[in-house]
Amino acid sequence: MSNPETVAIVMDGNRRWAKKNNLPSASGHRKGIETLINIVKTAKNNSIKRLVVYAFSTENWDRENFEVNALMNLINFGVDVKLEEIKANGIKLTFIGDINNMPEKAKKGISKCIHETKDLREFNLTIALNYGSIWDMVNAANIVADSGQELSQENFIKNTQLGKTDIDIFIRTGGDMRLSNFLLPNIGYSELFFSEKLWPEFNSEDFQEILKEFEVRQRRFGK
């Protein structure tokens, strides 16, 4: 089997980890950032080219206001605290989702990340913010319609947020076994892995175990 190039992760369990440790939910999300940086380094060291992570979904707006605000502030926390480390490791930051409808302060942080890492080539960390697969597919169909083309499988996939990128490995932490409206256009033949560990507890060894299991799976792509 060829080595995986692109891995997607639903980073679930930050709030439950915080509750378990008698901490506010924001502490769980901050700990989740530490875990993410660790996994990015592990992925890079294992010759993976791209990691796509689910940070904030279109459905997350329905959470309580204080938590939504904390998550928005967390974007700028990540920029202020982790951007230099990210740059030092040659990591390019890209974003998918309905970024235009994010709060202005968050958009400024996102723009800074994109601008300061745009020339880095060692690894691509793609962060999904205000993303949902249904939104992604409707948006792609609208782009094709606005262009005056007839909708086809080819131009539909091309205009989704990840385009023709196929996800080799799809990981969800936190114990739930569902896809949660993440990257549905790109995971048709992904290998799925579900971890009982909450995201802040997930570590390099857990990630490498998944890579080992991936090596022995047979991918037939419908053939």
High-pLDDT (> 70) share of the chain, %: 98
Q: Which residue has the higher pLDDT, 57 or 50?
A: 50
Strands 91-96 and 50-57: unpaired
| pLDDT confidence tier of residue 76, bands split at 50, 70 and 90 | confident
Evaluate whether residue 136 is within a structural domain: yes
Strands 169-172 and 91-96: unpaired
Query: In the numeric block, which tokens belong to residue 13?
Result: 């369990």
DSSP string, 97-162: S-GGGS-HHHHHHHHHHHHHHTT--SEEEEEEEEE-HHHHHHHHHHHHHHHTPPP-HHHHHHTSTT
Mean pLDDT of 57-82: 79
**107-135 pLDDT, tens digit each:** 999 999 999 999 999 999 999 999 999 99
Q: Report the distance separating Cα 54 and Cα 51, nearest Å.
A: 10
Evaluate whether residue 1 is within a structural domain: no
The residues annotated as belonging to the active site are 12, 60
Query: Is residue 66 over pLDDT 70?
Result: no
Evaluate whether residue 221 is within a structural domain: no
Query: Is residue 153 over pLDDT 90?
Result: yes
Q: What are phi and psi of 208, to 5 degrees?
A: -70, -30
> Taking the model in full, what pTM does it have?
0.93
Mean pLDDT of 37-45: 96
Q: What is the CATH number of the domain that holds 135?
A: 3.40.1180.10
Q: DSSP letter for 95, please.
A: E
Query: Is residue 155 over pLDDT 90?
Result: yes
Q: DSSP letter for 222, please.
A: T
| pLDDT confidence tier of residue 145, bands split at 50, 70 and 90 | very high
Evaluate whether residue 137 is within a structural domain: yes
Evaluate whether residue 123 is within a structural domain: yes
Q: What is the pLDDT of residue 1?
A: 59
Q: Per mean pLDDT, which range of 67-76, 98-107, 208-217 is the poorest?
A: 67-76
Query: Is residue 64 over pLDDT 80?
Result: no
Query: Is residue 57 over pLDDT 80?
Result: yes
Evaluate whether residue 222 is within a structural domain: no
Domain encompassing residue 143: 6-216
What is the average pLDDT score of the chain? 93
Q: What's the total number of domains in the chain? A: 1
